[in-house]
Amino acid sequence: MKKVLLIVLSIFMLTGCSSKHNELIVVTEAGFAPYEYYEGNKIVGVDIDIAKKVADYLGKKLVVKDVAFDSIISEVKTGKGDFGAAGISYTEERSKEVDFTINYIDSKQVVIVNNNSDIYNTEGINNKKIAVQLGSVADTYLTENYKDVELIREKKFLAAIEDLKDNKVDAVVMDEIPASKLITDNMRILPNELLTDSYGMIVKKGNTELLETINKVINDLKNNNEIDEFLLNHMGIKSKKESSGILGKFYDSVIYNARYKYILEGLKNTLLIALGAVLIGILLGTISAISNNIYENTGKLKILHLISKAYVTVIRGTPSTLQLMIIYYVIFRSMDINMVLVGIMAFGINSGAYVSEIIRAGISSIDKGQWEAGYALGLKYSQVMKKIILPQSIRNILPALGNEFITLVKETSIGAYIGIIELTKASDIIASRTYDYFFPLMIIALIYLVITVILSKLINVLERRLNNARN
């Protein structure tokens, strides 16, 4: 147990908090070119150029944080980021949660359809299935004004385009400029826009100092026509001809612009979170299971037993995604904490509830005669548990604990909800540059499969050795 604690503390030190006083954090969703997108291993775009000007004005280092679009307001509200910039449109609902800067760019929301579509104007989208990005102005506008439309709300615009490509939807509504970069030769943009929109940046309610600073920077940039220059500079993002064939797709997804670095970072974070979480899970699960067993056999530790039962019930009865978001956005609302560390704690707490039941089942599998034999030898409860019951239980529960670790490795994929770059997030980043989900997802799926097979083999080897030692 001491070794487990030491390893957990070491992981915490590796992923711990650091001082951010000299940094300005902008929160974005880097899949909305030319406003924000990945180039190499950096997030660039019009919004990022403006954010850099704000950071320069304040004499601070700009830090760009990539999260899901519908999480940006939560990030700013809770102080996880200083301001948000992701082509965010003003709405009354949003203005109740955050303060908006002045508009810095106008945009058109257009309708994209396949070339063979029978939709020829914006009126034709009635009674159709339309894909939008969740939380975008298109989502809000269509919800309020097109009651007969069936909306498919995707986390990313690229996913909406994939839906259209696969004929899962009849049309996509999004900003005109990114639309021109995402459409394929088999798609077209309808001639009339659905609505005209304006983008602003957001800050936490009451942060007037930062709001006034951003407004001043935006005004200066607009007066000098620099925002137009930023936009023109980022318009050529899809100039590279798409490669064909498996080798070409592999080159685009892995080699070009060193995109393999996203996969390596995602793999590192995935394994680090899974390892840290399983250690915390074993620690919490052991404490929970043994406290329950002590109460059932001696009647002691009643309060700890009740806490343990409530813990297991709540954790097993709620989704892990919800637990992760509560820990990040509620418990650590006002703390500047490393997201990987949050992932380790969230998944560790989740794992502990399941490990508790695994260990409880392992202890229950030991014949009562073993307990009686221990007591007959004059051993106390703690001695019987430590020297007789737990060693035998470990052999019985090892396969289940191994499966729990494998499950944790795959479950880390939901870490992308709070911006953790794990394997699935890495595939999203690559897809946002290649404009193709299939090949990046296949690569990540293969990596998960290899990890799972290797872990299964290691668990089988360890299990055989324990069985040999017992025999």
Per-residue pLDDT, 361: 86
Q: What is the mean pLDDT of residues 210-225?
A: 95
Q: What is the mean pLDDT of residues 3-13?
A: 53
Domain presence at residue 15:
no
Q: Considering only 71-80, 102-111, 364-373, which range has the smallest mean pLDDT? A: 364-373
Tell me which of 6 and 351 has the higher pLDDT.
351
Q: Are residues 309 and 448 in the same domain?
A: yes
Burial per residue of 238-276, b for 16 or more beta-carbon CB atoms within 10 angstroms, e otherwise: eeeeeeeeeeebeebbbebeebeebbebbbebbebbbbb
Residue 56 banded pLDDT, cuts 50, 70, 90? very high
Domain presence at residue 2:
no
Domain presence at residue 208:
yes
Q: Are residues 170 and 212 in the same domain?
A: no
pLDDT at 242 over 70: no
Q: Are residues 99 and 165 in the same domain?
A: no
pLDDT tens digits, one per residue of 370-424: 888 888 888 888 788 888 888 888 878 888 888 888 989 999 988 887 878 899 8
pLDDT at 467 over 90: no
pLDDT at 63 over 90: yes
Domain presence at residue 175:
yes
pLDDT tens digits, one per residue of 334-357: 777 888 999 999 999 999 999 999
Tell me which of 318 and 418 has the higher pLDDT.
318
Residue 241 banded pLDDT, cuts 50, 70, 90? very low
Q: Are residues 89 and 188 in the same domain?
A: no
Question: What average pLDDT is seen over the chain?
Answer: 86
Residue 470 banded pLDDT, cuts 50, 70, 90? low
Strand pairing class (171-175; 105-114): antiparallel
Domain presence at residue 159:
yes
Per-residue pLDDT, 19: 46
pLDDT at 244 over 70: no
Q: Of all residues in the chain, what percent carry a pLDDT higher than 70?
A: 92
CA-wise closest residue to 253 among 432, 412, 37: 432
pLDDT at 13 over 80: no
pLDDT tens digits, one per residue of 255-275: 877 788 888 999 999 999 999
pLDDT at 303 over 50: yes
Q: Are residues 58 and 163 in the same domain?
A: no
CA atoms of 352 and 343, how far apart (whole Å): 14
Q: Are residues 206 and 336 in the same domain?
A: no
Q: What is the mean pLDDT of residues 9-37?
A: 72
Q: Are residues 92 and 129 in the same domain?
A: no
Q: Are residues 135 and 271 in the same domain?
A: no
Q: Are residues 177 and 209 in the same domain?
A: no
Domain presence at residue 30:
yes
The total domain count for the chain is: 3
pLDDT at 5 over 60: no
Domain presence at residue 255:
no
Q: Of all residues in the chain, what percent carry a pLDDT higher than 90?
A: 42
Per-residue pLDDT, 416: 83
Domain interval for residue 132: 106-197
Per-residue pLDDT, 238: 45
Asked whether the beta carbons of 419 and 338 are under 8 A apart, the reply is: no
Asked whether the beta carbons of 122 and 211 are under 8 A apart, the reply is: no
Per-residue pLDDT, 237: 44
**CATH code of residue 113:** 3.40.190.10
Q: Are residues 179 and 310 in the same domain?
A: no
Q: Are residues 127 and 42 in the same domain?
A: no
Tell me which of 331 and 135 has the higher pLDDT.
331
Domain presence at residue 1:
no
Per-residue pLDDT, 248: 75
pLDDT tens digits, one per residue of 143-169: 989 989 999 998 888 889 989 998 999
Q: Are residues 350 and 440 in the same domain?
A: yes
**CATH code of residue 293:** 1.10.3720.10
Per-residue pLDDT, 33: 77
Tell me which of 205 and 400 has the higher pLDDT.
205
> Pick from 168, 197, 226: which residue ends a domain?
197
Per-residue pLDDT, 347: 94
